[in-house]
Amino acid sequence: MSTVIQEPSVDVVCLGVGFMSGVVATELALAGKKVVGITKGPYWDYVNDYSTTKYDEWGVGLGRKYDHPLPLQSTTIRNNSSQFALPVRRYTMPIQYHALGHGVGGAAQHYGGGMGRQGPWGYQMESLTASAYGSGFLSSINPQDDTHDWPLTYAQYEPYYVAWEEAHAICGNYNGSPTNSPSDMNYPWMSTNYPLPPHPLTPLGQLFQSTVQGMTAPNGQPYHPFPTVSALASQPYTNRYGVTVNPCVYEGYCGGLCDYACETGAKSNAAYRTIPAAIKSGNFTLVTNAYIFRLELSTSGDQVIAAHYYDAHGNIHRQPGTVFFNGMWGYNMIRLMLLSGLGTPYIYNSGLGTGTGTVGRGLTNGYTPYRGTNVTGTVNIGGNSYPAGNGSGGGMAVYELMDDNFIHSNISPPFIGGGLVSAGGYLGSGPGNITFAGGVSGPSSTNPNGSMGSAFKATQQKKYLPTKQTVGATPFAPDLPTLMNYCDLDPHYTDAYGDPVSRLTYDWTPNTYNGAAYLVNQIKTILDQMGATNVTVGSTVAPYSAHNDWWGHHLRGGLRIGTDPNAGTPTAWAALSGYNQLYLTPTTGVNYFAAGEITNTTGNNATAGTHVAGPQSYRAAEGIKKYLQYVATQGINYLAS
Amino acid sequence: MAAAGGALTASMVEIPLFTGQNSSLQSQLSNSNSQLANLKKQLDMMTGLVSLSITEQALLEPVVETIIPTDSTGVGAKEAGVIYFIDRQLASEYGLSGNMFMDAPHVPPNIPASSSNPLQVNPSLAWAFLKLPSGAYSPAGGGGSANPISYSGGSQTFTAGGTPFTVNYGITASPRVGSGINYQYPMNMREFWRVSLAALQTYSNRAYGGNFQTLSSDNQLQILKDLWTNAPKTKTPIPADDLTGFSNIQPSDFAYELTFMTWAGFLMDPIYGGNRNMVGWDYVGFNGVNFGNAYGEGLSQKTLMVASSPTKLKPASLAQYQQQAAGGA
Amino acid sequence: MPAPVVPNRSKPLNIPILESRVPKPEELVVLSKPLLEATIKIGNLLNDCSAKWALGGDIGEILNGVNVQPDHITILTNAEGCPEIGKKLAEFQVEASRLVERQIRRNAEIGPKPLPVKIRSYESRFNFDGQRLEVHGDLRIKVGEWDWGDPLDFEPEYVYVVGVKVPVVPLKLKTELYLGLGWMDRVRKINEAMARRHHKIV
């Protein structure tokens, strides 16, 4: 047994140092508080560490050399509680499963830089659906439905979106909303535009824009296209903390199927946006190569006393603090809470179809299924599908096929919400040499020899120099929370230190593919108008099975939102439902806050999850400031906003 | 047929020395020839194998050449040096499954549901006896018992939009080949390849009458297709005492690995041993680490990224980029 | 308090621990909050300025990622710019524009002995919540006994400061000036910033 090294107590202990902790640590450090941030990986110095070695699809994409080492901690996956969950044993192309980041910046080391606000409707899916389509509608379309409103409305979160965007150098020009007013419940209206202008538009993006501007959306109004929102800085920028940001150099090793780290700091990442200001303040201590394995609780079990971690040599450290903020990757956070006995674990009874408890509840997927219902066409616009561009700019998007922007009555099969539809992103967003259309495959009717032989080889000739492009989508409507999808501790597998790994029980809810069946036809209409040829609705699939997988890297959830006390009611100060309310009494509060991709979002692009998490982190920072202000001596009324 | 260890070296043409030319031209040509000879020697130094056995080399080269053949459209896997890529990978982290999660228990995917014969798996002691601060066991956090846990899969019928539908769940999921939870073998990649290559050769002899490298190219392609459809297991009986067949490996899993690594060897940066002289990149029109000016083309990414027709550029490798960068470009 | 649970296994030795050096505060390029706020305010107020102007000095460089620590804000403009800026920032003015010639603190380091450096400009001063702004119109430089240079002229480049677009003196011009003064440390800082920005990507 190793000796335990006692660390001095601080005001705030941040667990994990990714996007969320970056915000909390910086906000609190700049407010004069002592903050410690603990991460299991290194501090990435993008100039030194990978500026010459990142152009390496094999090492980055498959080797995941700048990423979380899988033997350190993996996860297990199954579709249903009746199954044995299989561990994720390897990284594959495209990056799919265990998508934990590593080190300062976290998962922002490997994303394509997309961002997009969740609109007002997404925050009130339960109540708005009930008022529009009847109180029984949700439960009729979603088995064992567990969908709830967020604790705050979009209007209440909006200032925090602004702060997030100013801090992270988000680029765009939101001119999509017809009125851009707070009374518009169906558009993410904005009180101020993005701090940076959008990236240059591609010819396909222009075609999409001009096409939809002349079309009528299902709501009877014209489409209002807007540039895809990007977390790649488009210009030199100084953020709200005085941190300078380099603009994107468009070298194309960005998103695609490998999701590259950014060697100029242009891609938004806590390491280049928030943490520098925290370090500069002198109030922030960064502990790297430190693996958190437990949270020590008070004897009553409702306060966090200390975080315990292993350092790079295997010594155990005990880090006490007044407040703890969990900014770890979604289900890694849940795992830590379960290992520590924090909160009531979620227990699902498959026989009864009921679930009790909170921690681990409400797993949803925020990304498109691998081989789901899709529609494609061909447009005669070519280009270089090689390093030139980035992973999130160049295109245009429309909001009219999302949320409740069209009437869902009399659509069969029924669903709620919709999807963000966009086109025109840079072709050179990221090389995918060994993945092509989703990886090598075996013989099929379209490819009798699979990915082998001369006929297939010929299809790869000059594929990076296309004279035309396939345009289309595999859309999906929001994946709704259900009692059946959850996260808990795996009974059979452990991490490298001997603790159980997380287990994900997840299958697609019908809303996703029922929505897809409708959306593909809308997108088909747009493709036809664009003059696309060979427009084909393919692979209409229902229900999605394990084959239509794209799990892990956009599975979110575990501390699901809601307003009823039994499931964990959010406080006004934590951004999400969950822990803070669980042991609420009128005079004490819980010193544990969390933020992240831990609840459902509305079928916006995948990293709308990241963006949706953004306001949570600012909200949590605000709550922590208030907590510290009133702690112990004054009594806390968490029910007051 | 391929000689062990032999393979293509850089195809370069010797410039014949002309007699009667002036002496300066002669010495220039002589210098160029010796430069070429040096480069050939350097490349020859890289043209060797560190991991594949003699029998594996003899088998693998025609296999990869079947997957990516030399044909009228261009070079194939052999000339691109794909087996060197695979060889180096088998000798390093990929082969040792260094970045893989390799712990037991090893349970295969695609086990069909069975209530009469469920899967029983012991829990980890860490989970069984997970102690919480209060000292109590938590049923959801941990089990409190080391008894085996039983899994039977089953069907579940749901209703959505008034329409009931049934989903069948096996004891384990049915992930597609190539996904991260498909590989569940208790062996690292080097072993997986060794066993599978031997099994492939065994199947070739059993079902087609000879070693893979002796067969017609039609049969060679057919054998690889057979792997994808798991024919070696279904069509060719494997004697129980035969350890050289696909007894413990799903042939389609090896088919995936073979095909994937062949294409990787064709298209990954040459620093890894394949894609020699960037012939693979030439073929697909990929520019590697040439951002528009590696050879002084003077092209800008900002222009190329919004073009509506492609511009072919000569590819540059990672090593080239680093050398240029070090030179202060 | 309850004892922590200690798993039986020690640090996993087969997983590489990547070397990790946390940067020191002085290595990080962060503009101080008061100057940041003043810059935003100035950028907004001069938004519709018709004369050519740009942020110069250290502030102009840090906004481009150069690791310097400005303690005031510098604006370079031409002769017409001074009165226009003076009018737009009248509320904050503490010294009206007048022709000033003075020697700067640091000498030129281009020869065997240091040479004094003088500047001459139409200079006006402003105060934004304790942050000093110096505006220089038609700035000219004189090194040692050589002639006065022409008034600095340039096309500004643009950066964004929390959503406000502001013009800055191009780094290329600053590099030329520093080379002329022999201030190689300043040249190096700019090069380092540009290396962080471009990484040999042409």
Please compute the mean of the pLDDT values over residues B82-95 and round it to a whole number. 97
Q: Which residues 291-310 in chain A show a CB within 8 A of chain C?
A: 293-294, 296-299, 305, 308, 310
Query: B297 and B159, same structural domain?
Result: no
Tell whether C25 is covered by a domain: no
Query: B91 and B56, same structural domain?
Result: yes
Among C30, C32, C160, the residue with its CB nearest the CB of A196 is C160
Query: B150 and B209, same structural domain?
Result: no
Query: B212 and B135, same structural domain?
Result: no
**A447 and C CB contact within 8 Å:** no
Pairing mode of beta strands A347-349, A354-356: antiparallel
Sequence-ordered list of residues with C-beta below 8 angstroms from that of B328, at least 6 positions apart, any chain: none
What range defines the domain where residue C117 resides? 31-195
- Candidates C188, C191, C196, C202, partner chain B, best to mutate (most B CBs within 10 A): C202
Tell whether C168 is covered by a domain: yes
**Alpha-carbon torsion angle B179, B185, B186, B189, nearest 10:** -70
Work out how many domains chain C is built from and give that number: 1
Task: State the complex-level ipTM.
Answer: 0.93
Tell me how close the Cα of B291 comes to any Cα of chain C, in angstroms. 7
Tell whether C4 is covered by a domain: no
Region of poorest pLDDT, from A259-268, A462-471, B4-13, B283-292: B4-13
Chain-chain contact of B107 with A91 (C-beta, under 8 angstroms): no
Query: B237 and B130, same structural domain?
Result: no
Task: Judge whether A97 and A261 are in contact, CB under 8 Å.
Answer: no
Query: B60 and B78, same structural domain?
Result: yes
Q: Is the pLDDT of residue A592 over 70?
A: yes
Read off the pLDDT of residues A416-464 as tens digits, 9 standing for 90 and up: 999 989 999 999 888 877 764 447 889 998 889 999 999 999 999 999 9
What range defines the domain where residue B316 resides? 287-326
Cis peptide bond N-terminal to C16, omega within 30: no
A95 compared with B104, residue with greater pLDDT: B104
| Tokens found for residue B248 | 């413990």
**C16 and B CB contact within 8 Å:** no
DSSP result, A402-430: STTSS--TT-SS-------EEE---TBS-
CB pairs under 8 A between A and B: 348
Tell me how close the Cα of A388 comes to any Cα of chain B, in angstroms. 5
Chain-chain contact of C202 with B291 (C-beta, under 8 angstroms): yes
- Give B126's contacts in chain C (Cβ within 8 Å): 7
Q: Is the pLDDT of residue B154 over 60?
A: yes
Sequence-ordered list of residues with C-beta below 8 angstroms from that of B231, at least 6 positions apart, any chain: B207, B251
Mean pLDDT for chain A overall: 86
Please compute the mean of the pLDDT values over residues A335-353 and round it to a whole number. 88
Tell whether B11 is covered by a domain: no
Task: Write down the H helix ranges in chain B.
Answer: 23-46, 54-67, 77-80, 82-91, 125-128, 189-208, 217-228, 231-234, 251-267, 279-284, 301-304, 318-326
CATH number at residue C96: 3.30.460.40
- Give B149's contacts in chain A (Cβ within 8 Å): 491-492
Tell me how close the Cα of A631 comes to any Cα of chain B, in angstroms. 24
CA A529 to mean position of chain CA atoms: 32
Chain-chain contact of A72 with C20 (C-beta, under 8 angstroms): no
Among C5, C7, C202, the residue with its CB nearest the CB of B329 is C202
Read off the pLDDT of residues B93-134 as tens digits, 9 standing for 90 and up: 999 999 999 999 999 999 999 999 999 999 999 999 887 766
Task: Judge whether C56 and C159 are in contact, CB under 8 Å.
Answer: no
Tell whether C12 is covered by a domain: no
Q: Is the pLDDT of residue B16 over 60?
A: no
Sequence-ordered list of residues with C-beta below 8 angstroms from that of A278, at least 6 positions apart, any chain: A22, A25, A26, A29, A30, A35, A37, A284
Q: B285 in helix, strand or coil?
A: coil
| Tokens found for residue B318 | 């990672």
**A192 and C CB contact within 8 Å:** yes
Q: Report in angstroms the alpha-carbon separations of C61 from A110, A132, B11, C74, C122.
A: 30, 55, 52, 11, 22
Please compute the mean of the pLDDT values over residues A13-24 and round it to a whole number. 96
Tell whether B38 is covered by a domain: no
**A103 and C CB contact within 8 Å:** yes
| Tokens found for residue A167 | 């801090």
Tell whether C42 is covered by a domain: yes
Read off the pLDDT of residues A610-640 as tens digits, 9 standing for 90 and up: 678 888 888 888 878 877 877 655 655 443 3
pLDDT on residue A598: 67
Q: Is the pLDDT of residue C13 over 80?
A: no
Q: A119 in helix, strand or coil?
A: coil
Q: Report in angstroms the alpha-carbon separations of C19 from A41, A42, A49, A66, A180.
A: 9, 7, 9, 12, 48
Tell whether C127 is covered by a domain: yes
| pTM of this structure | 0.92
Query: B270 and B211, same structural domain?
Result: yes
Work out how many domains chain B is built from and give that number: 3
Read off the pLDDT of residues C66-91 as tens digits, 9 standing for 90 and up: 999 999 999 999 988 999 999 999 99
Q: Which residue spans within A121-183 are E strands per DSSP?
A: none
Tell whether C80 is covered by a domain: yes
Chain-chain contact of B152 with A82 (C-beta, under 8 angstroms): yes
Distance of alpha carbon A165 from alpha carbon A479, whole angstroms = 26
| Tokens found for residue B96 | 């040792």
Tell whether C183 is covered by a domain: yes
Region of poorest pLDDT, from A87-91, A98-102, A128-132, A166-170: A98-102
Tell whether B146 is covered by a domain: yes
Chain-chain contact of B179 with A549 (C-beta, under 8 angstroms): yes
pLDDT on residue A46: 87
Please compute the mean of the pLDDT values over residues A536-541 and round it to a whole number. 81
- Candidates A70, A192, A244, A305, partner chain C, best to mutate (most C CBs within 10 A): A244
Tell whether B26 is covered by a domain: no
Question: How many residues can be counted in chain C?
Answer: 202
Read off the pLDDT of residues A103-115 as tens digits, 9 standing for 90 and up: 999 999 888 898 8
Query: B315 and B196, same structural domain?
Result: no
**A135 and B CB contact within 8 Å:** no
